[in-house]
Structure formats: structure tokens, C-alpha cells
Structure 1
Amino acid sequence: MIDVAQSHHALPQIKAERETTGLVIYRASRLEALLDPFRDLLAATWPEDPLTPQTVIAAHPGMKQWLTGALARRMGEAGIVANLDVVLPSTWIDRLAQSRLGAQAVSLPRWQRAHLRWNLHEWLGDVASVPGLDDPRIRRFLDPSLSAAERSRRRFQLADRLARLYSQYLVYRADWLDAWASGITHFATRNTRDPQLIATEAQLLAPLWRQAVADIGTYRSQVVADLIGTLNASSQGAASLPALHVFGASHLAPAELAMLRAYAKQALVALYLPDPCRDYWGVLGEGDAASWRTQEEVLIDEADGGDWWRSQGHELLARWGRLGQHFFAALADGDVREDIRHWRDTDDASPTNRLQRIQQSIRQVDEGLITPSADVAAEMRDASLRVHIAHTPQRELEILRDAMLDANERGITPGEMLVMAPDIRRYLPLIPALFGTPGDAREPLPYHLADVPMSRAHPLFAAFERWLALPASRVGVDDILDLMSMPEVARRFGLDAGGLEALNTLLEESRVAWSLDPTHRAGFGVPAIAENGFAWALDRMLAGYLMSDTAAEADVALRLPDDTELLPLSNILGDHADAVGALDALLQQVQRLTSHADVVMPASQWAQFFREISERVLRIDRSDHDAREAWDALQRLIASLADETAGAGVDPELHFVVVVERLRDALAAVPERQPFLLGGATFSGMVPQRAIPFRFIAVLGLDDGVFPRNADHGGLDLMAKLRRLGDRDQRFDDRYLFLETVMSARDRLHLSYIGEGVRDGQARNPASPLAELAAVLSRADAAASEDMKKAVPWRVKHPLQPFDARYFDDGKDSDPRLFSYAARHAGMRATAHAPRIVEATRVESQLESHTTDTVLLDVFKSYWRDPAKDLLRRRMDISLDALEDTQLSAEEPLDARLSRFDSVARRLLFEGALGDADWWPEQAPDWLRLDGRLPAGQPGRDAWQHERELTRVVANALREQGAVDAASAERESLEIELSLPPGTGAERLLGRIDNLFPSPRGGLQLLNIALPRYDAKKDKWQDVELDFGKRVPAFIDWLAARLTLPVDLPLRCTFSTQTPDAWAAGLELADAAFRDGDLSRTELEQRLARLVTWWRSADRHPLRYFPRTSWAAWQAVQESDLDVASVVRKTWASSDYKTGERDFAPGYAAMLAGDDAFAIGSPALGELQEFARDLAATLHVGFGAGQ
């Protein structure tokens, strides 16, 4: 929001006759310029009674909030703003009707959509009771062969849609309604031959309206017509009513404008209108207004409900300005006492930047003013108007945040910033992650949210919405866990943080997937089995709890009296026991809710039912004021179901799905009285007529198909086809809103859209208004010079990742449009020039890159296994956990192969296969057979056979290497606490090694299990490749253990490959050399230190190490006839036959590397090769790197 304060001065003294009447229009292309005439005319029309308020009509709630604050700032410290009654148009009309007619006009309860739809719902349920209601589409839409739930849902949706149409007609088609009410059923379509439109009027809309009028009575347009007639009849040519001020309107319905004209016959009516053009543009020099109107009506008729084109002297005005043009043309149709343009609009001062050029060209209707100078460098630096192309909504917000911080550095405060989006809901979950908590003044960019759906206003609403969704869902494990994780639900069922963690563990260990019980499962058309359902899992938990004090053997099944087998879960104690109780209580409520999924009850009983449900499943913190308000609002929302139907005079029998849809619609709606300007930056939806000036305006999500928004009328809306001058249309509203947005930005306009697919890299189109702006800017660039045309300085195509090196490149050829305030990302680019971070330390602290004195062994090794995940998740807090294959699954096992993430083969090895050369059990052990891991039937038997064969292959491979015997199958652990050499930045290495086993040849061995893969084509088991991701962690374990164990104790390193590994054999030679004194301790410490140093500096060299690709690069270097770059690309990128390392799930490598493909000659490829050589040399202790 811009600052409208000015220097102190006395309130102007204006003499005016209070008897003045008529319509006075003040226009300005800058809304704030209208404040001076508004202030002056308020002073001139002050009522004789100082206690009488002056009435001001604001165009919309946001304008109302802005106007009172802006006027107060305009008055300065010496002035005051008091006794102003700022209302919306509907409120003013109702008050006037009440005072003149003793009746309401707008707020007639039963004609409001929320009530009218229930009457329509009743009539649609008994079509025969409505004379003339004979549209065959109703019979098809409400086909009796449909399920009761679907038919009920459709009936409610149709009633709601019809109520919305009638509400629109009450404002814009009063003549249609009057004709229908009088029995004329062929009125709206009298000039068309379209049989579908004629039938819609005669067989649907007219009969239902006639029934509504007969049942309800007088409606809005009748009252408004009577009120206009009363005002016109009482007009005496002198002022007899108080002056009226209308501020900020860019559209008025015909009846509202007629009301103002009638009122203006008895009072002064002043309209303060934002007008993008300095000249009258209702017809723009096309002749007289009557001829223009006739031609426009012809174009509308020919368009047949579609769009039409008419040149306006400026392409952007022609494409965006139709709503405003019709409004200003309508104003010119009647008497106007004065029409005054603000003097600033006649100022022809040369614009100084791109935004000003666009605005001035619209203001003067001259596209030539957009052409830039020939200075390409200056245009590249011009941040006044830029179009940003991003890959994802999150990237849009990251780009926006940098742009806002940059604007803030240049004196634009957060309170002078507005961020809008056609679909703001798309961004609501992401905004707090990047901008912090709304309303927190400690954030670098304090902000608040407007136009937020009720469900997003407080977690309580989201929790209730989750409950509403359960009956239609499969009730998956993720549904229950997410639900219980909500504070209001966890509080109700008595779970704290420890209990929630215990519940997560229980659900994971139980392997529950979905369904309440076999009956619930069968409802989805699948076999009614108990396994992997909640009842089955809960039985396992309860059995484990009851047996927790017994001496029963773990992992052994119980046989129940009905001869079924059950595998109890172990260790159900403490928090785990509490979690079982909470889960049982929650599932009882889920069962109660789902049991009503096919119930039909009166609306009043449903309101009582959901009130009880809310009390049983939700509990707020009573000490929290916001929570108490949210609870009261939720109870009002539930009660409104009964209130609405009672207001319509009915208590309809409703199916459960209708009630849920009604409640969810209410939660998705934006509360009418939601505040707009609360301080700090404002994030909001794109709301028509919100032309409020801000120094910085951003519009996100300007994607093709998203904006302009299209209203779905389902073929029932006659207005969509039979259009008139002055009609409202979502498409025209949005286009004019875009025009108002462009004209309302004072310093910077930031526009962005998803312009490239994040997965396929394909270009995506922008929204049509943005494409039209881009086309105009491109023509202007081409007119300036060929270099300008090529540069496209206003369009910024952003990299996929926020840590891309281009954001931190400050070289002479760097792009000034790409910059970042994220200091932690700059730390990842050691080879970049000085980071372009303006005062970054004021915004974001530098990443603390592992500055602790202690290196944890597991953390250290995790980087070498998966460096991309370690860098993004651990060091940059970017998580893809939701995409991990190891997450809780809501799908029961179906495949005849177990996931490689499962440790079945490893457990089978150590529980029998290694110690028994004849191991070959016919049946899977209880812990595998009954724990829900194996699929049912033949797939389960096949999975067991596969795991059994895999286990035997690995056991035999280890025996052939002489690595195990019956006495060496006992695992040992070794605690590690080593001092690290100076220069590593850390003092010690701490951890524990658990894969130590006695060696049949004496001493200990590190046993590294590398499971082979079965090659079906060759019908044999193939060893997996031991790349750096497997070798480096094994080497770290070997170094740590070797430096910890007694010098004379042999230590071997063994991999479970069918072919003995030469590198592991080399470590055995190095171990012998160490014990003989030929290999020094210092040498081993230096190699460990080197690995630690590389690990600690990894965030500054993010692309130098990827385990599989680096290994391929090193191997290629050993073969002189191999093209290293080609080998690297084949390993890194995916093909039709294999998945490249870049595309390994869940996507950390692709996210870290971005577009980099290690092309020939690229710095990334060179660094990757060099590091692979250094790493291989470090791993080869005591023998040549080529061995």
C-alpha cells in the first residue's frame, strides 16, 4: 500500500450550496489522487447536524479498509477523520429501502442463495409438484438408477447452481424474473431460435422461479424498482437528501446505477472513479455514444456468448478494458452535473522505467510510449516490471522473496507490498515455510494473509475437514497418522509428542495399510481379508500389550480359540501402551462416522450429529484465544446447516454425502468479513475491484488455463449466451482486474507463472493477459533495436534450483536479474565470484556447515552413501521424505518380490542361514509369515521362495570366501571414539560399528552384505556393482575399527559377493602391513582426516561426488580407450533400459544437480573426474590405484 500522507496544512475552506443535486464524477488513473477532491467535497457537504454521519459507499470491503486509513493519513496530524459511515452498496440500498418503503431490498432472507437453494432442493425432489417443470435433463441428471448417494449429491448441486443463477438474475435480469413471475415462459429467449435455450427457459428456469415467487413472495428487483420509482416521484429539483459519496467503483449493476441517478435528483452524488485513461474512453473517438452502443450490441449478439474484438487504439485496453469501458459508457448515458479529470493525468512527463512506460501508454492511449531506449544494459537492470518464469509454485515464492527483499533494500517497506494469485490456495501451504509465521513482526518480511478459506484460517478447521473426508476414503494408515498428528485431535485422545512418536512406530511395525476391518474393505470391491487392516493391527497391538509381562518367546505366533494365528507386537509399554489406547478410541469414532455414510436424516438431526462428533474428536486449548474463536466459528458453521434450512421453512431429509459436501463447501469459502489490510505485506487472492495502489505488486500463478478464470454454468445460464452491455463475466472481470493491477503498481510489478515443466522441461504458456502484455513488450523491444529484441530484458527465466550458481555469479557477464538473498545457498558455490547477496546477513544467517567438534560416524557415512540427500536434507533442510519408498504405505503388499529396503534376507542370514549349511526351511518363520509383509496367496509363497533363495546364495558366497562358519555367526559391536588430526575442523569421531563378526581365520571381520539381483533372462544371480557408495562407508568402518582395535588383532573386510572383491583383499594386505609395522597409524589417520575434510566442505562442492557416476568416471579413466564424458552421461542420465543416478527416487540428485548433465568440457565434469581419482587413491591403502 502506498503512503498517501502529505505535508501539514489546514483543511480547505470550500463554500458550496447544500441544495446542490446531481451526479458529479471525479476521475483519476491513480486512486490516491482522488483523496483530495474526496476530502474537499466531504468538507463542503458536511451536514448541518454535526452528529449526523456522512455516508460513503466503498466499492468493496478492501477499498473500505484502505479508504479510511488513507484519508486519515491524508489529513495529517492536525486533521481528523470522524463520523464517516463507510458502507457497501448492498447495505446502503437496504437502508434506503427500509427508510423509504419499510422493507429490505437486498437482505431478504429467503431470497438469499443459502436459503433459496433448500427450497429448490425440495422442489427438485418432487418435480411433479411444480407446474411446467418438465426439462428432460433433470430426469437424466437425477436418474433413479443412480445410487442414493450420487442422486442426492446431484440434486443438491443442481439446486445450489440454480440458486446462484437466480441470485445473479436478481441483479442483472430483473425483466426476465418479472416476466417469469407473471407467467411468461418465453421471454428471455424470444429473439433466439436455439431450442436448448428456449427449453431451459420454458421448462426449467421460468417454472421454478414462478414456484419460488408463489411460495416466498416479493423479491429484490421488485423492491429496487419500487424504490427507484419512489425516489423519482418525490423529486422536486432541490436537495432533500444527504449528499452521497461513492468511492473506488469500476463497475455498477444497471439497477444500482439507476438507483444513484434517482437519488441524485434529490441530493449531490459524487463518484470518485479510478479510470485508466486520461481521456473519455467509453467510445474512444468512434462517433456518438448511441452509435457505439448499437455497434457493441451487434458484436455481443454475433459473439453468441463468446469473446469479441474491437480496436480501442491500444491493444491492452482493447483486450483488458471491456468491463470498464461498458461502465463508463453507461455513465455517459445519463445526466452528469460535472465530470472532472485529475490534473496529474494531463502531465506528459517522460516515464523513467518500463512500468511507467506501460502505464503512460495506457493513460494516453499511445502504444508508442512503451518503446525503450537503446540501452540494453539499463533495461536489464530495470526491475520495475519483470515477468518471471519458474518451474514450481515453491520456486515462484522463492523468486518472489528475493524480489521483495531487494525492493525492501531500496526503501519499499513490507506494508507497501501486495502479493496476489488467481488461486491463492495453491500457495497457502508454502508461504509460511518461506516467509515465516503470519503477523510475526520479527520476520524480515512481516506479512498477513487475506482471502484465506476458512479451512486455512486455523488448524481446527483443517482437522474437522479431515474427519469429514474419512468416510469416503479407504482409511489408510497415512490418513489416521495425519489425523492423530493434528494438535486438536491428539489433545482429544490424550497423546503428547512421545505418544505420537510411539504411534508412528506401532503403525510401522504392525504393517497396517488400510481398511477398518474386512467388512469395510469389502465395500471397495476387494476380498474381505483381515490382514493389513486396522482391526487386525489393533489385535496384534493388544495381544502384545497383554503378553508384555509374560515370558512368551518373541516373534512366535499365538493360536486363538477360533484356530486363527496372530503375531503379537512386542514392547507395548509406556508411551506405546498409551498410543494403543488412543488409537482404539480414535478408530471407534471413525467407525461411528463411517457407519453413517449411507444414512438419510433431517438437516436438524445432522446438525446435532456433527456437533456431537466435533466434541468427541476435537479438543482445543482453552487458554488460546484464537482457538476459542475458531471453536465458536466451527459450531456456528455446523449449526448453519439447520439455520439455513429453517430459514427456508424446510427441514429436508438429506443423505450423508450432501451434508458433508455442504460443510466442506462452507470450510472452503472465504469468510465475508475477513480483514484485508493488517500491516506488513499482504498475500491475497485476486478479487475484482481491488484497485488499491501499492509500491510493490506481485501476481503469481499467471498460468494458461488458470487466469482468466472461467465460471462453469453447466449449460443452464441464459446470461452466458444472451449477453448485454454492462454484464459481469468472470473472464472480463479478471481481464479488467489485470488492467487495474498494472495501473496500481507504483514502483514495481512482479509477474510470474509456471513456464517450464519440472519433470519434462517442456515450455508452458502463460495466462492470456500476460501473453498479451508480453507481445506488446516484445514489439516495443523490436522497435528499439535488434539487440533489445534478443535480450528480452523484462523476461527472466529462472533456474530450477535456488542454489544455482548463476544466482551468485558477480562476473562482468552475469545477469543482474538473477540474485539471491539466501546466504546458505551461496556457501555451496565455492567456485563462484563474490556472492551477490545485498546485506544478506540482515536477512538470513550463514549456514553453519558442521562446525561442531564431534563427527558422528553414522552421519559421516550417510553423506558417502547418498551425498545429494545429505546436502539437501541435513544441511539445507530440504526434505523429500513424502516421496521415499520407505514411508508408511497405505497399500497392502501385492508383489511376489519384497522390497530391497526390507531386511528379510539379512535377518534370515544371521538367524540361521550363516550357521547352518543345510538351511532350507519349507515355511517362512512366524515373524515373516504373519507380520503383514508377505502378500496373500500365491504371490506370498513366491515372495518367500525368492527371499529363501536369495539368502542361500549370499550364505554360500560367504562360505566359499571362508568368511563364516557355525561359530562365527555371532555379531559383535565396537564403540568408536577417535581423536582426529588437526586441520579437519573437528576433534573426534564418535559412533558404533555393528557389523563385526569373528573370522574363521582369526581376528575380526567387517561383514558388508551386498544383496545380488536375479537376472531372469540369464536365470542366474548377479553381483551388484560395488561403487563408491558401498566402498567408502566400508572403508570408513575399516579405518575406524583398525585405529580402535589392538594393533595385533587381525581385521578383515568382506563383501557378500559371489566373486571375491579384489579391493577388500587389498585391505587385508594393508591390515597385515599395519600389524607388521610397515603401514603407520599416521597414514591411516591422514586418510580418515582427508575423508572428513572432504565431507565438511561438501556443501561448497555439491556436484563433485555422486557415488555411482563418480565410480563410473574413475573406472573409465583406467581404460584409455573409453570416453569418460560418455560413460559419465550414460551412468548419470536415464535411458529406455535403465534408471540413471540423476533420477533415483525420491529425486535428491536431480534436485541438487538441476540442469547440469556433466557435458564435455564443463567445470562440473572436470571436478567430478578429479575428485573420483582423489577418492580412489585414498581408498587404496598400501597398493597401487590401478589394482
Structure 2
Amino acid sequence: MAGFRVFTSNRMERLVEGLAGELKKPLLSPLDPEVVVVQSQGMEKWLSMELAGRMGICANFRFPFPRALVDSLLDAVIPEASVDDPYNPETMTWRIMRLIPGLLDDPAFSSLRKYLHGECSSLRFYQLSRRISAAFDQYLVFRAEMVLSWDQGKEDHWQAVLWRKLGKDAGGRPHRASLAVRFIDAMSEDRPVNFPHRISLFGISTLPPLYLNILYAASAKTTINLFLMSPCREYWGDIVSHRKAAQIVGRASLKEGEGDPDLHIGGENSILASTGEAGREFIDALMELPLAEETELFEEPEGASMLSRLQSDILNLKERGEGSCAKITVPAADLSIRINSCHSPVREMEVLQDILLDMFEKDRGINPGDVLVMTPDIETYAPFINAVFDSPEGDPRKIPYRVADRSSAHDRLAVDTFMAILDLPVGRFSASRVMEIMRSPLVARRFQVDEKGLGILEALIRGSGIRWGLDEASKAAMGLPPGKANTWRSGLERLLLGYAMPGFGEAIFKAVAPYDNIEGKDSQILGSLIDLIEKLGFLEKELGLPHRAGEWSAILGAVLDAFFPDGDGGSLRKLKDVVSGFILVEEHAGFDGLLELPVIKEHLKNTLQGEAL
């Protein structure tokens, strides 16, 4: 039965039970996948395990993110919605970068002209264009009405002018906000659509207004089940924090003696008021919609601990010390909420480990699988987590753990190595940096150098006097006095001559002193080193020049072929996709200008490291 249904609870476990109950109802076809929308990969993994535990198996499921689901719904009704979207954030970045230089003389763009004054480098243009693109992308989903008014010619500031210029440049192609209008109108028509029979949204704390409107419109044709976490069972759409309350009172009392004596502000839970703004606005938006069904699965917290009382106060919208809700004294032994001040991330992990071990010792009913540890930046903390918690088997302090929401170590290794290779030719070409690249397992495998060979390479580089600089010309290019001493060319000449003839520490051949401590069995390793340096030397020339986007695609593709092993598609797939994507910059965005290496590196860094647009 079609309709928009909302299941609300303050406990994730109750929401999982509700979801499992709904999923037991069969779909129209046993081969149709179950669609459950989540906001993170961590939630996907946790939810799939919870459902498998309750249902015996979790198979034939799709776990799209909200944007992917909305795109699929739009595409099902408006086929051209997903064809080469000119308003895709990445495409829009390059389009803005192409358009801005021709608009800077417009009086409306005086603020941008001042911002770019004195530093009109391509990198600065790219960074500005990316920020503008990110803002426009957010406008499309959070302020769709404003964007649609810009389309109609309202407002003449630089953002509105640039947006209309983008629309004209796109040849009138529709953007997400205009597609949503067409989609909502289509949902009122009596025509079949190819939607999933049932769509569930789980653990979604908030949605952009545009997404909510699209999903609600789609509920006319299919069942939409929203499983919403809400800490409070009462209506809390109008509560305000102490700071906001003070602002309201201040505005009401601008003129002395004219304040409204009937203002009723305060008395609500201050923690919920100050930290739940996004969820409050989302729940407010939901309450404005006529729902097919609303189910409350709230559960009163058990126990008398500080945490339980705090959760109960939030659930029932109470404020301790206000009205009949008296303050209570918390026993000193109550550690259900604790704040630990640590001097470093490593120390945080050590303290966390001690707390967990103590908790498991005191309460045998708690297992490691029952514990969730959250961090604001998992990539920053992951190395320290592994350093502290990765204890050997048999260690009494060992706690089983898993780091979620993080890309695989193999993928990060490929990206880090790729970026290091791009950094090297435009630097000093130091021996230590070259060896860092060669130590990468991917590069070492490509050049067939094992762990023992890496040790031999280090000894050869150190013994032959190689320090930095590719050759005499590269030193001169840096504005330094020319000289071949301690460069890679000088050192490699010594190594090759030493392999060909012994110098016994005295002989010199054409002003080159052979390096004596090299043996015949080291020839393959020396050949690998020469191959690496020749490839890096070629890159130094190519990377130092500006190229068009399509040319950069070919150059970067050559880097992947030259420094990474074949048949390692798992870790290199994303790299190759991003590199090949540069061709589309010219094709889709129409950008054919010359780009310098700093712009390419910035784009790669943003894309490969997952910076959200």
C-alpha cells in the first residue's frame, strides 16, 4: 500500500525491530531487492548484521545513500535527469572556472574581483570555483525556492548573475530543483512508474527539504517507510536554547518598557534545545506533511544512573530545576557519563582501552560487540586505534575491534603513493623521498624489488654519494650553482662504472670514480633503480608544463602504467577513474584552458580523499 509512514523511537534497537517487522512482509516479486537508505557505510554494515541476526539472513539488499536514491527516482520519471548533468558539482566547478574570468568586469562581481586581486593564479581560480560550486549544490537541495527565483530573473547580485550564466551556458538543461518540480507534478498524474515496491529509510536524522519533498511525492506511487531516531517523544519544534531565548527577549525589549510581558520562553530541556537544531527542523518539516501512518516506538530509559536520568529528561522534555522537576544529587561513583581530558590522540586511545577493560571486568554481560566508539575524524584516529588496540593474541588486554567508515589500507596506499610521485619531480629530488616511493609495496612490486633489495638500494645510494637533484641542469633550474656532485646522474654514473670495472678506491675514468662496493648479483636491483629514475626524470619535464585537461589524463595515465603493477585493479580502480575523468572536463564542462600541476594536484586531492562537494 502506497503512503509515507514514519516510525519514531529513541532507541536504535527498537527501530531495527520495527524495520525487521516490515521487511517480513513480502514484496511483489521474490527477486526484487529490498531498498534501505542509510547515511554511511558504517550504518550499512551494522544494520545488515542486525537484520541478519533477527531474520536469519540479510541478502538481496540495496543500501543507497539519500542522494543516490533521489537520483534514481528522478531518473525513473524523467529519463534525461541523469544524462551528463551539467550541474554535477565537479562539472559545475570547471564550468564556473571557465566563466568567471569573463565576468569580473561586471560591477556585480566587484567582491570577487577584490578577492582575486594580486593573485589570479589558476589554483586560486580553481579553489574559488570549487567553493562556489559546493555552495550552489547546497542551494539546490536546501534553498530550491531561491534558485528557482534566480532562474526567473530575480536578484542581481553576483551569485544570481553567475547562476543564470550557468543556466544559459547549459543550454537550458534542467537542474535538480526544476526537476523536482516536474517530478512532483508527475506524481499527481495517473501513470505507472518503475519505483521499488517498498523503500525504507533507516537512521536518517535529517534530510534536505528538496529530498523530503521528492520522497513524499513518490509515496503516492510506492510505500516509503522512514525509521527516525528522535530523542524526545514530546513536540519540541519550538524549543530554543538559552542564547536564542536571550536574543528573542532582547529584540522584544528594544525599547525600554515595551517588552511583551506574555513571552513564554524557557522551561525546556537545555541540552536538547542547544544541540538538536537540525533534527528539530526536520521533525518540524515532517509534521507539516499528512502522513499515512505514524508509529511511536519510544522506550523509557531503565535505571537511575546519570545517563539514564539525562536520557529520560530529554525524552520527556524536562529541565532539572524547573517547575516540579527538582535537581538530584549524582553519586560520586556514577561514571555513566565521564569527560576525560587527554593531551594527545594516543593518550585518548589508551584511556579508552582502560575504561573498556574495566567495564568488561565489572559487567560480564557486556561484550565488545555491544560497544560503539565514535570519533569526529576516523582517518586521523585510525592509526592510533590500531597502535593501542592491536594487541597480540593471548594478551589479556586484547579487545576485538573493527574500524568502520574507512577506506581500505590498500586503496589509501595507492593514493598516497600516487600523490608522492607527483610531488617528487617538482621538488629537490632528494634521495630520501625517492626511497620513500620505492618502499611503497606497489612501486617495489612494479620494479621487482623485494625487502632485501630495498636494503641494498639504500646502501648503494648512500655509498655513491647521491643526495639530491636529478642532474646539473635541474640544479640550475632551481637557481642554484650548477654542479654534478651528489646528484642522481653523478651517483648512477659511479654505480654503473663500478659494476663495469673495479676502481680499488683510486682509479678514475673520465672524471668519474667507480663505486667499488657493488657485486654482479646487484645488477638487477641497479637496473630497477635506473629505470625508476629515468621515469621520474621524464615526469619532471612533463609535470613542469601546463597542459589541457585531456593531456593531463594521458600523462597521469602514463604515471599509473609506469609506477604501479598490472593486475591490481582493486586499489587502482578509483585512481584510473579519476584520471580518465579529466577527459570529460573538456567534453562536459567545455573547459579547454591550460592547467598547471598545482590545480591538478588540488583536484586529485579533493576527489581521491573524498572531500564532499
In the superposition, the TM-score normalised over structure 1's length comes to 0.44
Q: Deviations over 1:653-675 (max 9, x none)?
A: 322332232223333227x9xxx
Q: Distance in 2 between matches of 1:116 and 1:523?
A: 37
Unaligned runs of 5+ in 2: 253-264
Contact 2:240 2:274 in 1 (8 A): no
Q: Deviations over 1:304-363 (max 9, x none)?
A: xxxxxx857233222211111111222223334554432523x6x432x34334333332
Alignment of 1:61-460 (within 5 A): 61-75=41-55, 77=56, 87-104=64-81, 109-127=85-103, 132=106, 135-139=109-113, 151-186=121-156, 202-203=157-158, 205-216=159-170, 217-232=173-188, 245-264=200-219, 269-284=224-239, 313-336=268-291, 338-345=293-300, 349-351=302-304, 353-366=305-318, 368=320, 375-376=331-332, 378-379=333-334, 382=335, 384-407=336-359, 410-436=364-390, 444-452=398-406, 457-460=411-414
Contact 2:3 2:224 in 1 (8 A): yes
Query: Which residue identity lines up with residue 91 of structure 2 in the other structure?
Result: H
Task: Indicate the RMSD between aligned Cα atoms, in angstroms.
Answer: 4.0
Contact 1:110 1:116 in 2 (8 A): yes
Q: Deviations over 1:844-902 (max 9, x none)?
A: xxxxxxxxxxxxxxxxxxxxxxxxxxxxxxxxxxxxxxxxxxxxxxxxxxxxxxxxxxx
CA 1:496 to 1:374, structure 2 compared with 1: closer, same or farther past 3 Å? Answer: closer
Which residue of structure 2 aligns with residue 618 of structure 1? 564
Deviation at 1:84, TM superposition (A): 6.2
CA 1:59 to 1:507, structure 2 compared with 1: closer, same or farther past 3 Å? Answer: closer
SS at match of 1:272: strand
Deviation at 1:455, TM superposition (A): 7.6
CA 1:522 to 1:452, structure 2 compared with 1: closer, same or farther past 3 Å? Answer: farther
Contact 1:454 1:668 in 2 (8 A): no
Q: Distance in 1 between matches of 2:412 and 2:326?
A: 46
Contact 1:133 1:208 in 2 (8 A): no
CA 1:89 to 1:453, structure 2 compared with 1: closer, same or farther past 3 Å? Answer: closer
SS at match of 2:544: coil
SS at match of 1:213: helix
Q: Deviations over 1:443-465 (max 9, x none)?
A: 94444443335786353332222
SS at match of 2:374: strand
Deviation at 1:639, TM superposition (A): 1.3
Contact 2:36 2:199 in 1 (8 A): yes
Q: Distance in 2 between matches of 1:503 and 1:342?
A: 65
Residue 594 (structure 2) pairs with residue 662 (structure 1): no
Contact 2:91 2:585 in 1 (8 A): yes
Residue 465 (structure 2) pairs with residue 519 (structure 1): no
Q: Deviations over 1:1001-1044 (max 9, x none)?
A: xxxxxxxxxxxxxxxxxxxxxxxxxxxxxxxxxxxxxxxxxxxx
SS at match of 2:382: coil
Q: Distance in 1 between matches of 2:137 and 2:125?
A: 18
Which residue of structure 2 aligns with residue 582 of structure 1? 528
Q: Deviations over 1:918-946 (max 9, x none)?
A: xxxxxxxxxxxxxxxxxxxxxxxxxxxxx
Deviation at 1:81, TM superposition (A): 6.3
Q: Distance in 2 between matches of 1:43 and 1:668?
A: 39
SS at match of 2:449: coil
Q: Distance in 1 between matches of 2:326 and 2:603?
A: 50
Deviation at 1:278, TM superposition (A): 2.7
CA 1:585 to 1:48, structure 2 compared with 1: closer, same or farther past 3 Å? Answer: closer
Q: Distance in 1 between matches of 2:512 and 2:33?
A: 78
Contact 1:602 1:653 in 2 (8 A): yes
Q: Distance in 1 between matches of 2:197 and 2:452?
A: 66
Which residue of structure 1 aligns with residue 7 of structure 2? 26
Q: Deviations over 1:1108-1148 (max 9, x none)?
A: xxxxxxxxxxxxxxxxxxxxxxxxxxxxxxxxxxxxxxxxx
Q: Distance in 1 between matches of 2:414 and 2:68?
A: 32
Which residue of structure 1 aligns with residue 519 of structure 2? 573
Alignment of 1:452-471 (within 5 A): 452=406, 457-471=411-425
Deviation at 1:250, TM superposition (A): 1.4
Q: Distance in 2 between matches of 1:218 and 1:312?
A: 47
Query: Which residue identity lines up with residue 33 of structure 1 in the other structure?
Result: R
Q: Kindly, what percent of the aligned residue pairs are identical? A: 28
Contact 1:454 1:461 in 2 (8 A): no
SS at match of 1:273: strand
Query: Which residue identity lines up with residue 184 of structure 1 in the other structure?
Result: K
Deviation at 1:530, TM superposition (A): 3.5
Residue 447 (structure 2) pairs with residue 506 (structure 1): no
SS at match of 1:110: coil
Q: Distance in 1 between matches of 2:480 and 2:51?
A: 66
Q: Distance in 2 between matches of 1:257 and 1:28?
A: 19
Contact 1:597 1:657 in 2 (8 A): no
Deviation at 1:276, TM superposition (A): 0.8
Larger % of helix: which? 2
Deviation at 1:142, TM superposition (A): 5.0
Structure with bigger gyration radius? 1
Alignment of 1:690-709 (within 5 A): none
SS at match of 1:654: coil
Deviation at 1:569, TM superposition (A): 3.6
SS at match of 2:227: strand
CA 1:669 to 1:537, structure 2 compared with 1: closer, same or farther past 3 Å? Answer: same
Residue 570 (structure 2) pairs with residue 639 (structure 1): no
Query: Which residue identity lines up with residue 360 of structure 1 in the other structure?
Result: S
CA 1:619 to 1:256, structure 2 compared with 1: closer, same or farther past 3 Å? Answer: closer
SS at match of 1:135: helix
Query: Per chain length, whose mean CA-contact separation is higher, i.e. which structure has more relative contact order (CA < 8 Å, sep 6+)?
Result: 2
Unaligned runs of 5+ in 1: 1-17, 187-201, 287-291, 300-309, 673-710, 712-1187
Deviation at 1:274, TM superposition (A): 0.5
Query: Which residue identity lines up with residue 135 of structure 1 in the other structure?
Result: F
Q: Distance in 2 between matches of 1:208 and 1:375?
A: 61
Query: Which residue identity lines up with residue 467 of structure 1 in the other structure?
Result: I
Deviation at 1:218, TM superposition (A): 1.0
SS at match of 2:51: helix
SS at match of 2:600: helix
SS at match of 1:428: helix
Q: Distance in 1 between matches of 2:492 and 2:512?
A: 11
SS at match of 1:599: coil
Deviation at 1:485, TM superposition (A): 1.4
Q: Distance in 1 between matches of 2:484 and 2:467?
A: 11
Contact 2:313 2:319 in 1 (8 A): yes
Q: Aligned residues, how many?
A: 582
Query: Which residue identity lines up with residue 154 of structure 1 in the other structure?
Result: R
CA 1:535 to 1:419, structure 2 compared with 1: closer, same or farther past 3 Å? Answer: farther
Larger % of strand: which? 1
SS at match of 1:427: helix
